[in-house]
Amino acid sequence: MQQDNLEIPPDHLPTRLWQELTRAPHDRHHDWRTPILATQGIDQSGPQARTVVLRHADAPLWTLRVYTDARSAKCSELVAQPLAQLTFWSKRLHWQLRVSALATVDFEGEQVDAAWEHVRQSPARADYLSALPPGHIQTSREPVAEGAKDALRGHHLAILSFKVSSMDWLALGQDGHRRARLTSDGLLAWLVP
Ligand SMILES: Cc1cc2nc3c(=O)[nH]c(=O)nc-3n(C[C@H](O)[C@H](O)[C@H](O)COP(=O)(O)O)c2cc1C
């Protein structure tokens, strides 16, 4: 188990965490590329958690970005209740990071257009072109055809932006674990793991 976790000076910790977060979207093998996004379900459906791909991390602004289908449940959930949590686990670092954030959902605009320009050139474009919305009940196991696209935009991509308010870092070590809470206004508190 990695031991240098325990040697990070407290004032380096935010920088170290954002270093990993900004690397993850560009590294297919980085465990932090696929965090779990938790939201509050609608209509008493309870907490909802699912894997997403981290597309962008901005260290100075403490923001994270994810792409999704504008018709997915997570969009309506975040519009109704924007408090969300993203949980990351790295097997390499033996680090868990739980990020609390305020989400905004962009269905259109320059950022969405730019993201679509990029995504449409990749195989992932199919994720935003399906005729039926995610979660729709299917009558057969046939793949859903493309079509019935958003009349104006020709796709269903939406951007979820997360303004991080605090992070809960847990580092596992053979000689003991460490845990800290960091906030966007620069506070750091050590916690009992
Ligand atoms: C490895 C992996 C990556 C995924 N990435 C995304 C993603 O970036 N955006 C997304 O909307 N769904 C992604 N999904 C699918 C979601 O986990 C989820 O099944 C889907 O978005 C429906 O979620 P919802 O109905 O709660 O909105 C991914 C699933 C896996 C297994």
Ligand 1 centroid – CA 52 distance (Å): 5
Provide the number of structural domains found in the chain: 1
- Which range of residues forms the domain containing residue 86? 4-191
**Residue whose CA is closest, atom 25 of ligand 1?**
73
- CA–centroid distance, 175 to ligand 1, in Å, is 36
Look at residue 19 and tell me whether its pLDDT is greater than 80.
yes
pLDDT tens readout for residues 78-111: 999 999 999 999 999 999 999 999 999 999 999 9
The alpha carbon of 179 and the centre of ligand 1 are apart by a number of angstroms equal to 28
Segment holding 112, helix H or strand E: helix 110-119
Which are the contacts of 154, defined by CB distance < 8 A and separation ≥ 6?
A: none
Q: What is the structure's pLDDT at 15?
A: 96
Q: State yes or no: pLDDT of 150 exceeds 60.
A: no
Ligand 1-lining residues (CB < 6 angstroms): 34, 48, 50-53, 66-69, 72-74, 134-135
What pLDDT, on the 0 to 100 scale, is given for residue 3? 47
The confidence score (pLDDT) of residue 144 equals: 65
SS (HEC) of 11-64: HHHHHHHHHHHHHHHHCCCCHHHCCEEEEECCCCCCEEEEECCEEEEECCCCEE
CATH of the domain at 44: 2.30.110.10
pLDDT in tens, 40-50: 999 999 999 99
Q: Which range among 65-74, 115-124, 130-139, 155-164 shows the weakest confidence by mean pLDDT?
A: 130-139
**Binning pLDDT at 50, 70 and 90, where does residue 141 land?**
confident
Among the residue ranges 114-118, 134-138, 142-146, 185-189, the one predicted with the least confidence is: 142-146
